Structure formats: structure tokens, C-alpha cells
Structure 1
Amino acid sequence: MSYELGKYIKNFIEHIEKNRNASPNTVIAYKNDLEAAALFFGKDKFVSEMTRSDIRSFMSSLSQNGLSPKSCGRHLASLRSFFRFLICEEIVNSNPARGVITPRSSKDLPRFISENDMKNLLDGAFRDDAIGIRDKAILELFYSTGARISEIASLNIDDIDMESEELRILGKGSKERIVPIGSAAKESLSKWISSRSKMIRHFERALFVNARDGKKLSVRGMRLVISEYLARVNPSAKNPHAIRHSFATHMLDHGADLRAVQELLGHSSLATTQKYTHVSIKRIKDLYRGAHPRA
């Protein structure tokens, strides 16, 4: 990586942290994407010399290394944003990433867990201690709200209003939303809040804490917890995001309004939520073909 490119990447990261109110995960993604590009371009490449051909070569190398079209598209979007910043700073005159075609993502439907498997998961056996109570509360809250794993991990104890059965979530772009808590999740949370003090060794605002030191349970730690439980009921959908997909799919299957689901998920665009209608329609077609005598 050239010193010049490294310096401009650092300036760009500082810019999005201060002016775009970007989440920590977004900042890390931008930093990783741009540093990967900088390593590819080497020590002797100046930003003013970069061309569309250079960007295409980088994208080609990502594809050859096995990155998915979606991941390649994210790298390209990061480069476009980076060069827009450099143009605003009057460091370059044009954006070489602008005319590069974004790789087409495959239109795979979101993986989700069946309602029966979710019931088996949530009604299944948990450890008979504070850790088991915590784990059940995490899973119940995850399925009850459809929140992102980073949103659940960042919850504080005062984000819950048990009386109103509401949860305050800070989503992408620091956008706040209020979502309802189901009765099963409320019951599990009540038990966890009563047991939480057994894990805490000092003052801690985080709702979910780890058993090792009583501090906030990290996203990585929560991901490991959820993946372990998911593997018991559906090994093919052990990514924690499958619970969020399941929440949306099951809501739509039971007649929920698409815009209401959009609000609950915290999607800024209705188009993002609409992918779940394809899952529901596919399920309806499968049921139809299996039940209709002339299907």
C-alpha cells in the first residue's frame, strides 16, 4: 500500500465516522474493502493515476479469488464512495469506479427456518442456569423482533420497557425505531433480568453479558451462541441472520402488511423487504403444487 493511498483512506474513514454517522460495522467494512484495494494496487500507485481499467482489474481479482458477486459489489461501492470523497476534497478530478459495472448478484431466496423448527428451537432444552436463561432470552427476543444481531448485541437494559412491551432499537445509520415485544420474549426477558445479576461483577448497562467477566456480550460471542442452537434444528440455516429472515417470512405468511414488516425490520427501502414476499409466494406455490389435483 502506498503512503499516499493509506493517508487518503484514513482521511475518508475519519470523514464517514464524523459526518455520516456510520455504524462501527459500516466503518470496518469500508476500511477493510479499501485496504484490500490498496494492497492490490501496490506501493507505486497514486490515486490521480487510477483508471477504470485499474478498478476492473481489481474487481476481476476479487472474482478469481472466489468472492461472491454481492461481496464484489460492496467493494466496488466502497471505491465509488472513496473517490467521491476525493473529488469533494479536490484531490482527483474524476471517479474511475463510476463506470465499472457492478457484478450481478444471484437471486437466491433468503434462508429461513420453518415455524415448526423455530418452535422446537425455542421450546427445546436449555441449560438450567443463568447462561441457559440468557440464551433463551436472546433467541426469543431475536425471533420476536426480527432485529439484526448487531442491534440485539448493542441493547442496554434501559432500552426495554416491560410495562409497554416495547423495545428501543438503534439501527443502521443510528436510526432509532420502537418495536413490540411478544409475550414469550417478555417472559424470557423477565427471567433473564432476574438472573442477570448473577453474571455481573460491576455496573454494566448492556442487556446481555458474558459469563466470563460479566461484561457486554459481543456480536461475535452472540453469533457463536445462536449458531450453536440453530445447528440443532437446521444445520443448513445456522447463520443467525436466518432468524431475521424467518421473522419476516412468518409474519408475511400470516398476513402481515408489507410496510409494517418494513418498519419492524428497519429497512429504509420497501424493495429490500419485498424479497421476503418471494419466499412466501414460493411457499404458496409449493403448497399448491402438492395439494391441487391438476397443478
Structure 2
Amino acid sequence: MEKVLEDFKQWLRLDGKSKKTIENYSLDIGQFLSWITERNINLGEISREDILNYKVEIMNSGLAVVTINKKINSLRSFNDFLIEKEINVARVIKPGKDRIKIAGGSENNIDVYSNEELEKILSAVNKEEVTLRNKLIVYLLLYTGVRVSELVNIKLTDIDLLTGELKIIGKGNKYREIPLNQKLKKVLKSYLNTERKENKYAEDSPYLILTERSPKMHRDTVNYVLRKLCKNYNFKAYPHKFRHTSFSILIAKGVDITTISALAGHNSIETTNRFYLKVNKKEKAAAVSLL
């Protein structure tokens, strides 16, 4: 399966896909290959029924609709690859049918943490057994609103503790600066002076967040850290949910949309409007309860 995944990556490169697209597609297909391996399904025998079963499973995993649809897109490309390489000539992905359609009026509903959920998460990271690195991950996600792809790519040179700013290179290589609040600065300084300094990769790695096995943390590890922190709670934690929560809190506190758009690194204010100025699910529920 590893060779198939490498061949798929090469196929994507030759097709002119960007490095980021290749990374995302490879991650999705790697998960799919693990799924069929566990079920002893041969690549040449993948059927439409297998795809539908996989779709049901990822839908039940609590992923956002947009994430599920991205995985469907990855599978469509993989299906094209299998057909072109004559590994499996069956057309098992039908994007028009397989993508989840969102009902009118529900577009761009965002999922955010409730105040109670945030309290539980912050309580969890403040426990003695939680490492400073894992606490820093949560604080960066919550107090800067960075994407998980941006988080794992933060370098030491991106941090200026003197001015209290974090430099981020986001989508489309867009550059932005994010101020660091005092809570985050305190955790960041502690991590830099202790855990990171003691890591075996500390001297050679330019990246802020290290692991015991790698000089750079992978986005999958971030998800694992969050799952572990919230394993005893009745909700799941996702990196992007912190991002939506951060900017929704700022909206609720009256911060102007232009400032939020700049902090989020959106291409335009219209994008920020579309996400954060729409009526959210809780507001809809509150409205209906008045009837």
C-alpha cells in the first residue's frame, strides 16, 4: 500500500497539483488505504458498496460536512489514478451523488465550542500531567485562530517575544502578523525555556513544536493530542473548531470585521462575513424556541 500511495503522489505531481493539495490528498487516501487494509479489500476489487460504507463511517465520525466533501474529492482523484493505471477500472466515485449537499439557508454554519466546553478544555490542559507543549498547542489554536497547517509550520524565527507578535504564512503564501496575548506568551516562554530546550531535536530543528520522534510535529499528531485531552468528555475537539470559536468570540465582543479578517488571513472581508456574520445554529434554535 505504501508504494501505491507514493505512486499516487507522483501521479498528482505530474498532473500539476500543488504541494499542499498533494499533502491533503495523500493524507485522505492514506486513511482510506488503512481502512480497506483492515477489511482485507483488494485495490483491484474496490466496489461502489465499499465507498458507500466508507462514507457512512466518516460521516459518523463527527467530521464537518466540508471536510467530508474534501475527502470525497480526494477519493475521486484516487479513482482516476486507479483507472488510468489499470489497477481498478471501475468508476466507484460519483461526486454528484457522493458529496453531501447542504440545505439552503444552512450554508457555512460553523461549529464552535460552548463556554462549558472551553472551560473543560482549559481545565484539562492545566492539569499537572499535561505537557507544556500540548498546552501550547491549545493556547495557539485558541488565542491566535491559526489553522493546523499553519500551527505545525511555525518556526522560531516567526516569534518575536519582544514585540509580542507571531508571523504566519498562510494560504496562498499570504503573510500576516498576529499579536500574542499575555496568557499565550507565558506558556510559550515556559515551553521554550524547558521542554523544547530539552528535546533532542532542539538545536537542529527550526520549528517551534517538536515531538520525541520528529523535529516537526505532523497535523495528525495535533488531532491525536486534542482527542487525548478530551477523551473523558462528551464532545470531540478539532483544530479548526478552535479557529471558528476564536473569531466568533471576537465578533460577539464587538471587534470589527476588518480586524477579524486580517487576523484570520482571509482573502477578503466577504469570506469573513460569510462565515461569522451568518445566523448560527444556536441563534436559530433560540429563535424557534420563542414560537
Which interval holds the TM-score relative to the shorter structure?
Answer: 0.5 to 0.7
Task: Tell me whether 1:142 sits opposite 2:141 in the alignment.
Answer: yes
Query: Does the CA contact (< 8 Å) of 2:142 and 2:242 recur in 1?
Result: yes
Larger radius of gyration: 1
Query: Does the CA contact (< 8 Å) of 1:200 and 1:214 recur in 2?
Result: no
Query: Does the CA contact (< 8 Å) of 2:146 and 2:264 recur in 1?
Result: yes
CA deviation after TM superposition for structure 1 residue 134, in Å: 2.0
Task: Tell me whether 1:191 sits opposite 2:190 in the alignment.
Answer: yes
Change over 3 Å in CA distance of 1:32–1:285 after alignment to 2: closer
Change over 3 Å in CA distance of 1:8–1:230 after alignment to 2: closer
Q: Secondary structure at the match of 1:235?
A: coil
CA deviation after TM superposition for structure 1 residue 29, in Å: 5.2
CA deviation after TM superposition for structure 1 residue 145, in Å: 0.9
Task: Tell me whether 1:22 sits opposite 2:11 in the alignment.
Answer: no
Change over 3 Å in CA distance of 1:98–1:64 after alignment to 2: closer
CA deviation after TM superposition for structure 1 residue 21, in Å: 4.7
CA deviation after TM superposition for structure 1 residue 185, in Å: 0.9
Unaligned runs of 5+ in 2: 36-40, 60-64, 80-92
Change over 3 Å in CA distance of 1:220–1:191 after alignment to 2: same
Question: Residue 51 of structure 2 aligns with which residue?
Answer: 62
C-alpha distance in 1, partners of 2:21/2:240? 18
C-alpha distance in 2, partners of 1:284/1:28? 38
Per-residue Cα deviation, 1:46-79 (whole angstroms, up to 9, x for no partner): xxxxxxxxxxx96x87346426575674366558
Task: Tell me whether 1:115 sits opposite 2:115 in the alignment.
Answer: yes
C-alpha distance in 2, partners of 1:23/1:254? 35
Question: Residue 86 of structure 1 aligns with which residue?
Answer: none
Alignment of 1:184-223 (within 5 A): 184-202=183-201, 203=203, 204-210=205-211, 212-213=212-213, 215-223=215-223
C-alpha distance in 1, partners of 2:120/2:182? 17
Question: Residue 82 of structure 2 aligns with which residue?
Answer: none
Counting matched residue pairs gives 262
C-alpha distance in 2, partners of 1:103/1:148? 24
Change over 3 Å in CA distance of 1:41–1:100 after alignment to 2: farther
Alignment of 1:4-43 (within 5 A): 12-15=11-14, 20-22=18-20, 25-28=23-26
Per-residue Cα deviation, 1:5-27 (whole angstroms, up to 9, x for no partner): x99956541146x7735355335
Question: Residue 48 of structure 1 aligns with which residue?
Answer: none
Q: Secondary structure at the match of 2:244?
A: helix
- Which one-letter code corresponds to 2:101 in the other structure? S
CA deviation after TM superposition for structure 1 residue 101, in Å: 6.9
Question: Residue 169 of structure 1 aligns with which residue?
Answer: 168
Change over 3 Å in CA distance of 1:246–1:194 after alignment to 2: same
Superposition TM-score, scaled by structure 1 size: 0.65
Instruction: Please tell me the root mean square deviation across aligned C-alpha atoms, in Å.
Output: 4.5
- Which one-letter code corresponds to 2:259 in the other structure? A
Q: Secondary structure at the match of 2:178?
A: strand
CA deviation after TM superposition for structure 1 residue 274, in Å: 2.1
Per-residue Cα deviation, 1:155-186 (whole angstroms, up to 9, x for no partner): 12111111222212232344333222222111
Query: Does the CA contact (< 8 Å) of 2:29 and 2:78 recur in 1?
Result: no
Question: Residue 228 of structure 2 aligns with which residue?
Answer: 228
Unaligned runs of 5+ in 1: 1-5, 44-56, 84-96
Superposition TM-score, scaled by structure 2 size: 0.66
C-alpha distance in 2, partners of 1:133/1:175? 29
Query: Does the CA contact (< 8 Å) of 1:137 and 1:185 recur in 2?
Result: yes
CA deviation after TM superposition for structure 1 residue 189, in Å: 0.8
Identity %, equivalent residues: 20
Query: Does the CA contact (< 8 Å) of 1:166 and 1:179 recur in 2?
Result: yes
Q: Secondary structure at the match of 1:207?
A: coil
Which stretch of structure 1 is more off in the superposition, 254-263 or 199-208?
254-263
Question: Residue 74 of structure 1 aligns with which residue?
Answer: 70
- Which one-letter code corresponds to 1:149 in the other structure? V
Q: Secondary structure at the match of 1:110?
A: coil
Which stretch of structure 1 is more off in the superposition, 114-123 or 65-74?
65-74
Change over 3 Å in CA distance of 1:137–1:125 after alignment to 2: closer
